[in-house]
Amino acid sequence: MSGLIQEMSDKAQRLGIPLAVQFDLTYRCNERCVHCYLDHDDHGEMNTAEIKDLMEQMAEAGVFFLTLSGGEIMMRRDFFEIVEHARRLSFCVKLKTNAVMIRQPEADRLQALALDAVQISVYSHRDEVHDAITKLPGSLKRTIAAVRLLVERGVKVVFANVLMRENFQDYSGVQALAAEVGAEFTIDPTITPMMDGDRSILNLNIERAQLQQVFRDASILGTSPQEFCAPPAGPPTAEDAQNMLPCSAGHTFCYVSPYGDVYPCVQFPLPTGNVRTTRFLDIWKHSPQMTEVRSITISDLPVCSTCSHGGGSCSRCPGLAYMEGNMRGPSSQDCEKSFVRTGVETAGMLIRREARSIDGLVQIRSAAGPDTKAESLQNCL
Amino acid sequence: MSPVYIARVKEVAARSIGGEMMIMSARDSTLFSLNETATAIWQAADGVTPLAEIVQRSLCAQFEVDPATALRDAEELVEGLAKHGILKLSDQPIVEAK
């Protein structure tokens, strides 16, 4: 993060300003990606007037960075009307799209909008792999044709390469394709649960050895693997832990669904209010749930505050922890990542292992009769 | 000396964060932070009001500064912003900025 952006972010946090928002315009999509965490039916999206009004409220609240995402954003017939309104309100706008609906006229209009960036999902440089993930025949060809149109017009394009078992072997190919077409490249090695809590898609996550390979690939890290995978720095000091925040969710960032529901983050499905009944700023400032999220510092995390990874190598996501049942608990996916990165087990992993062995003992006892302790232990995990 | 007209460039994102104007250029994603006086000039840059009038109205009255010094400083500032591509300068009113 550049110095000035960090300063702006710190200032926004001090003043309680929602500096950045991801706003999903729709969950409808023309692709059916195997790893998608969304339900694609329309359960009552906000209409154009509601969206424009919400964006005006956001501008008034101080939102600067606005990411419009979905679903596929261009499934909305009023898509350009919405983005044009966002730019009139001087947001720094980033779009997330699969780009298959972008042809020359759309590329021209996007160029005129002076966007910050267009992030486009690319799963492979090979049609058969990409299209098997999106379940839309011909999608890679259409996506890359759109990328070329945008890059030719000077629009900044960023490839988002989500890694899963199906496409792991292709990330270098996607990286090379990005370089060839003049796009930036980002990689995400984590498949997250569906928003309704269904964890079945986690089976698509890459294996530990594959994640190790990613974390030791200097071409992706932007730093040396030795530095990135260095042993954990130890737990934060008590003083640091009191001042450290888990992440920007609820502090300078939030997420709004197509139905007007406001959450601390797209990956943190804790409902905090709905803009159809309550003004955006009132939810942001006064919702009890948002206030609770905001009150949590690292020292409030019973496991993670003592973890040796807490000083730096851990990228704990409170939303993933929430989806595992406790927003103050560890996130097993992030524990796994920290472990793969450093080779050192996290406090969360040690506790889980201990609990499994206790659980084993309890099961032996329970063979002799019901044991309520077993149930209460299970609930704590 | 002919008057200077200034207009905000449309290809930027801008927001006042706690009284400080943050501006991001879409050309190269460079972020600028304007102080209170620069923010006052930026906000008044409608393309049709001469810079001298903006300075007189928005700065001299508000900040109690000498008009000649304020105008000189403002000219330097708007030239700098124009070089970074976030403000347009002209010796004619800039009508498209309306």
DSSP code per residue over A192-226: ---TTS--GGGGGSPPHHHHHHHHT-HHHHSS-HH
Sign of CA dihedral B87, B89, B94, B96: negative
So what's the pLDDT on residue A329? Answer: 93
Q: Which of A94, A126, A113, A114 is nearest to A25 (CA)?
A: A94
Please indicate, yes or no, if residue B98 is contained in any of the structural domains.
no
Which pLDDT belongs to residue A331? Answer: 93
Report DSSP state, residue A260: S
A64 CB neighbours in chain B (<8 A) are 13, 15, 17, 22, 24
pTM for the full model? 0.90
- The residue segments making up the domain with residue B11 are 5-88
The backbone torsions φ and ψ at residue B14, rounded to the nearest 5 degrees and listed phi first, read: -150, 140
Query: Model ipTM?
Result: 0.87
Strands B31-34 and A253-256: unpaired
Q: Which chain B positions have a beta carbon within 8 Å of A114's beta carbon?
A: 10-12, 26
Q: How many CB atoms lie within 10 A of CB B83?
A: 10
- Asked if A158 has any chain B CB less than 8 Å from its own CB, the reply is no
How far is the C-alpha of A170 from the C-alpha of B56, rounded, in Å? Answer: 62
Give the nearest partner residue to B31 out of A5, A17, A19, using CB atoms.
Answer: A5
Q: What is the CA radius of gyration of chain A?
A: 22
Average pLDDT over residues B65-74: 88
CATH of residue B53: 3.90.930
Contact B17 A91 (CB under 8 A): no
Interface of A with B in 107-146 (CB under 8 A): 114-117
DSSP state, residue A254: E
Residues A173/A126, Cβ–Cβ less than 8 Å: yes
Q: Which pLDDT score is estimated for A117?
A: 96
* A28 contacts A185 by C-beta, under 8 angstroms: no
pLDDT score, position A103: 98
CA distance B75 to A72: 46
Burial class of residue A371, CB neighbours in 10 A (0-12, 13-18, 19+): middle
Residue burial A2-11, b: 16+ Cβ < 10 Å; e: rest: eeebebbbeb
Distance of CA A165 to the CA centre of its chain: 19
Nearest alpha carbon to residue A26 among A46, A9, A52, A54: A46
- Whether B65 maps to a domain, the answer reads yes
Contact (Cβ atoms closer than 8 angstroms) between residue B8 and residue B45: yes
Residues of chain B neighbouring A8 (CB-CB closer than 8 A): 17, 22, 31, 33
B5-30 residue pLDDT tens: 999 999 999 999 988 899 998 878 88
* pLDDT recorded at residue B1: 65
What's the token pair of residue A314? Answer: 């851990």
Q: How many residues does chain B have?
A: 98
Report the C-alpha gap between A271 and A196 in whole angstroms.
12
- Flag if A92 and B33 touch (Cβ within 8 Å): no
Q: With CB atoms and an 8 Å threshold, state whether B31 touches A4.
A: yes
Q: Is residue B95 in a domain? A: no
Which of A88, A90, A158 is the best substitution to test chain B (most B C-beta atoms within 10 A)? A90
Q: CA of B18: which chain A residue's CA is closest?
A: A15
Give, in degrees to the nearest 5, the angle at Cα A123 between A119 and A129: 155
Q: Which of residues 10-39 of B touch A (CB under 8 A)?
A: 10-18, 20, 22, 24, 26, 29, 31-33
Please judge whether B29 and A116 are an interchain contact, meaning their C-beta atoms are less than 8 angstroms apart. Answer: yes
**Could you give the percent of chain B with pLDDT greater than 70?**
96
Contact B18 A15 (CB under 8 A): yes
Structural domains counted in chain B: 1
Q: How far apart are CA A360 and CA A118, in angstroms?
A: 50
Q: Digits of tens for pLDDT over chain A (381 positions)?
A: 578 888 999 999 999 999 999 999 999 999 999 999 998 889 999 999 999 999 999 999 999 999 999 999 999 999 999 999 999 999 999 999 999 999 999 999 999 999 999 999 999 999 999 999 999 999 999 999 999 999 999 999 999 999 999 999 999 999 999 999 999 999 999 898 888 888 899 999 999 999 999 999 998 888 889 888 998 888 888 888 888 888 899 999 999 999 999 999 999 999 999 999 999 999 999 999 999 999 999 999 999 999 999 877 788 999 999 999 999 999 999 999 999 999 999 999 998 888 877 655 554 443 333 333 333 323 333
Return the amino acid letter for A279: R
A17 contacts chain B (CB < 8 A): yes
Answer yes or no: is B94 within a domain. no
In this structure, what token pair is assigned to residue A126? 């090979």
B53 located within any domain = yes
The rounded distance, in Å, linking the Cα atoms of A30 and A294 is 36
How far is residue A7's CA from residue A1's CA, in Å, rounded to a whole number?
10
* Helices A127-134 and A139-152: angle between axes, nearest 10 degrees: 100
Cα dihedral A190→A196→A201→A202 (10° resolution):
50
Q: Cα-Cα-Cα-Cα dihedral of A33, A36, A40, A43, to 10°?
A: -170
Q: How many CB pairs under 8 A join A and B?
A: 51
Inside any domain, residue B42: yes
Mutation site, A6, A11, A111, A158, interface B, largest B CB count within 10 A: A11
Judge whether B20 lies within some domain.
Answer: yes
Cβ of A2 under 8 Å from any chain B Cβ? Answer: yes
**Contacts with A92 from chain B: Cβ below 8 Å:** 13, 24
Q: Which residue in chain A is spatially nearest to B22 when comparing CA positions?
A: A8
Phi, psi angles (nearest 5°) of residue A89: -85, 5
In a domain, B93, yes or no: no
